[in-house]
Amino acid sequence: MAPPLLLLQDIDLTLGDTALLDGAELSVAEHERLCLVGRNGSGKSTLLKVAAGLIEPDRGTRFLQPGATVRYLPQEPDLTGHPTTLAYVEAGLGPGDDRHRARYLLEQLGLGGDEAPGRLSGGETRRAALARALAPSPDILLLDEPTNHLDLPAIEWLEAELAGLRSALVVISHDRRLLQRLSKATAWLDRGTTRRLEHGFAEFETWRDEVLAQEELDRHKLDRRIVMEEDWLRYGVTARRKRNQGRLARLQDLRRQRREHRKVEGQVKLAATEGQTSGTLVIEAKNVSKAFGEARIVADFSTRILRGDRIGIVGPNGAGKTTLLNLLTGMLAPDAGTVRLGANLAAATLDQQRRSLDPQRSLADTLTDGRGDTVVVDGTPRHVMSYMKDFLFKPEQAKTPVGTLSGGERGRLVLATVLARPSNLLVLDEPTNDLDLETLDLLQEMLADFAGTVLLVSHDRDFLDRVATSVIASEGDGSWVDYAGGYSDLVAQRGHGVEAKATARAPKPAADKPRGSSSAARARLSFKESHALKTLPGRMEETTAEIARLQAKLHDPDLYRKDRSAFDAASARLPALQAELAAMEEEWLTLELKREEIEG
Q: What is the DSSP string of 155-212?
A: HHHHHHHHHT--SEEEEE-S-HHHHHHH-SEEEEEETTEEEEESS-GGGHHHHHHHHH
Domain 281-503 listed as CATH 3.90.180.10 = no
Residues 6+ apart with CB under 8 A from 8: 24, 25, 26, 27, 47, 50, 51, 60, 61, 62, 63
Q: How deeply is 457 buried, as exposed, middle or buried, from its count of CB atoms within 10 A (0-12, 13-18, 19+)?
A: buried
CB–CB of 71/220 below 8 Å?
Answer: no
Please tell me the distance from the alpha carbon of residue 60 to that of residue 170, in angstroms, as a whole number: 20
Please tell me the distance from the alpha carbon of residue 230 to that of residue 364, in angstroms, as a whole number: 42
Q: How are strands ordered across the β-sheet holding 6-15?
A: 18-28, 6-15, 59-64
Residues of 515-549 as b/e, b for ≥16 C-beta within 10 angstroms? eeebeeeeeeeeeeeeebbeebeeebeebbeebbe
Vertex 436: Cα angle to 158 and 317 (nearest 5): 40
For position 511, what pLDDT does the model report? Answer: 37
Nearest to 469, CA basis, from 353, 592, 360, 307: 307
Longest dimension (CA), the chain: 108
For every one of its 600 residues, what pLDDT tens digit does the chain have, with 9 covering 90 and above? 568 999 999 999 987 767 889 999 999 999 999 999 988 778 899 999 999 999 999 999 999 999 999 999 998 888 989 999 999 999 999 888 888 999 999 998 889 999 998 888 778 898 999 999 999 989 999 999 998 888 888 899 999 999 999 999 999 998 999 999 999 999 999 888 999 999 999 999 888 888 888 877 777 777 777 666 666 555 554 444 454 555 556 556 655 655 555 555 555 566 665 556 677 889 999 999 999 888 899 999 999 999 889 999 999 888 899 899 999 999 899 999 999 998 888 888 876 556 667 888 888 888 888 778 888 776 678 888 888 887 778 888 888 888 877 767 777 888 788 777 788 898 888 888 777 787 788 788 778 778 889 999 988 998 898 888 999 999 988 999 999 888 988 888 888 788 765 443 333 333 333 333 333 333 566 666 777 777 888 888 888 888 888 888 877 777 877 888 888 788 888 888 887 887 787 787 777 777 766 765
Q: Which class does domain 513-600 fall in?
A: mainly alpha
Determine the topology of domain 6-206 in CATH: Rossmann fold (3.40.50)
Phi and psi at 18, nearest 5°, equal: -100, 125
Please tell me if the domain spanning 6-206 has the same topology as the one spanning 281-503.
yes
Nearest to 89, CA basis, from 118, 119, 111, 67: 111
Phi and psi at 62, nearest 5°, equal: -120, 120
The CB density around residue 499, as the number of other CB atoms within 10 Å, is 16
For position 159, what pLDDT does the model report? Answer: 92
Cα dihedral across residues 244, 248, 253, 254: positive or negative:
positive
For position 506, what pLDDT does the model report? Answer: 35
Hey, which bits of 29-64 come out as E strands? 33-37, 59-64
Domain ranges of the chain: 6-206, 207-260, 281-503, 513-600
Cα-based distances in Å from 98 to 69, 72, 95, 127: 15, 19, 9, 19
Q: Which residues pair with 291 in a beta bridge?
A: 296
Hey, which bits of 439-492 come out as E strands? 453-457, 470-476, 479-484
Q: How are strands ordered across the β-sheet holding 336-341?
A: 295-306, 281-292, 336-341
Please tell me the distance from the alpha carbon of residue 248 to that of residue 252, in angstroms, as a whole number: 6
CB–CB of 302/344 below 8 Å?
Answer: no
Terminal-residue alpha carbon distance, the chain: 53
For position 274, what pLDDT does the model report? Answer: 58
Please tell me the distance from the alpha carbon of residue 301 to that of residue 417, in angstroms, as a whole number: 32
CB–CB of 438/268 below 8 Å?
Answer: yes
Nearest to 110, CA basis, from 496, 504, 430: 504
Query: What single DSSP character describes residue 522?
Result: H
Q: Which residues pair with 285 in a beta bridge?
A: 303, 339
Cα-based distances in Å from 215 to 25, 196, 264, 394: 20, 16, 9, 24
CB–CB of 193/43 below 8 Å?
Answer: no
Please tell me the distance from the alpha carbon of residue 10 to that of residue 59, in angstroms, as a whole number: 7
